Amino acid sequence: MGALDGRRVLVAGGASGIGRATALRCAGEGAQIAVLDRNAWVGDRKPAAAPIADVRDTGAVDAGVAAAAAAMGGIDGVVYCPAIDFAATLRETVDADWERLLDINLTGAMRVCRAALRAFPPDGGTMVLIASAAGLRPLPLRSAYCAAKAGLVMFAKVLAQELAENNIRVNALCPGPVDTTMFRASYEGAADPQAELAMIRERYAMRRVADADEIARCVVFLTGRDSSFVTGAALAVDGGRTFH
């Protein structure tokens, strides 16, 4: 018996990275899965639905979430994963970069969660928002990213209060470094990529980078019955950065 038997889970940003690992892990735990992403799903284990939508487009999100709900007969679990990143000082930051990052990393979560609520059953469900350790502690040159991820943490806390009466639990998950394309891009362009990676590892007590499935397993916990009394939490899954 899987931890998510009978659950219908929509994974936004599920075509790659943490989102893809989450979709595969949830499916392995017995859930029906739908993936909403701007890129097509590729692989043998096909979701019940995989609508293509940019989370910056309200109409596309509404249509994609409705298609996912129709394919699964409803939605009772949402995981929000889309994210982009860029490094710049405040003086170097231009409006377009700032606005695009916040639109994807933060405002997109509002669009997806709002649309998914229309498909939630009367007995409630769960939302898990993939924030970041950078939403709990600052990183130099990442003002936009840190602001968006901190906003995602507070968004989850507010929703947890608003939706508790509907038996909907909302939590933020705050990973540290995870071996994804986006994370690799953060150091591979450095003059000495291995030195840059070593410096990143030093921020964390465990001195290593996580595998995406390590994060996905925590999503399963927050989506499943074992976390039935957990809501409004910001769970740090960061190898020790929040206390290091």
Catalytic residues: 145
Q: Report the distance separating Cα 15 and Cα 45, nearest Å.
A: 12
Amino acid making up residue 96: A
Q: How is residue 72 written in tokens?
A: 């699964």
Other beta carbons less than 10 A from residue 194's beta carbon = 10
By C-alpha distance, which of 131, 26, 28 is closest to 76? 26
Question: For the stretch 51-79, what's the b/e string if a residue is b when 16 or more beta carbons lie within 10 angstroms of its beta carbon?
Answer: bebebbeeebbbebbbbbbebbeebbbbb
What is the C-alpha to C-alpha distance for residues 168 and 166, in angstroms, rounded to an integer?
A: 5
**CA distance to 13, 61, 109, 165, per residue, from 153 (Å):** 18, 21, 11, 20
- Burial label, 93 (beta-carbon count in 10 A; 0-12, 13-18, 19+): middle
| Non-local CB neighbours of 101 within 8 Å, separated by 6+ positions | 84, 85, 86, 144, 145, 148
- Torsion sign over Cα 101, 9, 25, 219: positive
- φ and ψ of 166, to 5 deg: -95, 10
